[in-house]
Amino acid sequence: MARIIDGKMISQQIKDECKEEVAVLTEQGKHICLAVVQVGADPASSIYVNNKKKACAYIGIESLAYELPEETTQEELLALVEELNEREDVNGILVQLPLPAHIDEDKVIQTISPLKDVDGFHPASVGAMCIGQPGFLSCTPAGIIQLLKRSDVEIEGKECVVIGRSNIVGKPMALLLLRENGTVTVCHSRTRNLKEVAKRADILIAAIGKPRMINHEYIKEGAVVIDVGIHRENGKMCGDVDFDDVVDHVSAITPVPGGVGPMTIAMLMRNCVESAKR
Ligand code: NDP
């Protein structure tokens, strides 16, 4: 029987740990504040932003919401980010992605101070992670490492295959698994014999963005499977992994919903607390 890795429960543990730390920081007279900036009204982004605000309220972090119209110019957005960089009462800045097409996302990310980069997307944060120096870790991959560790899945020495090489999931995921002494292979759309490569994995991370693409043909018997994908199909959510098809072949697997998703927000909260402590 496959073990279902419960991201909801583990994310709740992390949020409770953050809440305790915030209570201590508050007693010491520290106030923690996350600025959340959304441009336009993309419905999926609005759901994510609301969930982040709710998590802040639960933990005791103030959230400052900036809901800017779709027509906001790049200059206006950069001016706001610079203002937030300067504000001493703001510990973390999050600009919800994706941004409208007329705004250069890279430029915006690079304008956020690395000291307040709680998403961990700034090149300085990524560089620090790459060479093992302190800095904010990208939330989704850091959350996956926590899921594995808190479920007693050993990473050291294991064959880890990451499918996907995006800057926000695949690449930082590979780096963090390497940091945990996994033997890491990264696959992408031009990987040859993907099924054969995936079948080497003791730990398989699917971050592809293709609904239910990974079936049992990609899975070694007894592998641990982490499904990063989030898709809505006919009102139901699913991931990049065909859960029903693989579940009898794996030793542990994350569900969608309730696996990786809640961990991303929990790690964002963790980064906000770290920012306040620094
Ligand atoms: P991207 O679209 O940025 O990257 C997808 C990656 O998958 C690319 O590297 C691409 O390769 C690769 N890929 C696409 N098709 C194939 C294929 N047929 N075979 C092998 N590789 C392929 O997506 P993200 O990394 O941003 O997100 C991935 C998924 O995770 C999405 O479903 C997204 O919604 C979800 N997500 C979930 C989060 C959470 O909190 N749970 C957070 C962030 C994302 P190439 O580089 O060659 O194009």
CATH code: domain of residue 86: 3.40.50.10860
Q: Ligand 1: does its nearest atom lie under 6 Å from the Cβ of 144? A: no
Q: Does the beta carbon of 36 sit less than 6 angstroms from any atom of ligand 1?
A: no
Q: Is residue 212 part of a domain?
A: yes
Ligand 1 centroid vs 63 CA: distance in angstroms? 29
Any idea of the CA torsion for 236, 3, 261, 156, to the nearest 10 degrees? Answer: -150
- In this structure, what are the phi and psi dihedrals at residue 240, rounded to the nearest 5 degrees? -85, -10
Condensed to tens digits (0 to 9), the pLDDT of residues 84-139 reads: 999 999 999 999 999 999 999 999 999 999 999 999 999 999 999 999 999 999 99
For 15, residues 6+ apart whose C-beta sits below 8 A from its C-beta are 55, 58, 59, 266, 269
Q: Are residues 253 and 143 in the same domain?
A: yes
> Are 151 and 243 contained in the same domain?
yes
Distance between CA atoms of residues 255 and 85, nearest Å: 37
For residue 146, what is the domain's CATH number? Answer: 3.40.50.720
ipTM of this complex: 0.99
Beta sheet of 33-39, edge-to-edge order: 62-68, 33-39, 92-95
With respect to residue 1, please indicate whether it lies within any of the assigned structural domains: no
Beta strand 250-253 pairing with 223-227: parallel
- The answer on 161 and 104 residing in a single domain is no
What is the per-residue pLDDT across 177-217, written as a single tens digit (0 to 9) for each?
Answer: 999 999 999 999 999 999 999 999 999 999 999 999 999 99
Domain extent at residue 228? 139-262
Q: For the chain, what is the domain count?
A: 2
* 163 Cβ inside 6 Å of ligand 1: yes
Mutate to test the pocket of ligand 1, among 192, 208, 238 (most ligand atoms within 8 A of CB): 208
| Same-domain pairing of 148 and 96 | no
pTM above 0.95, yes or no: yes
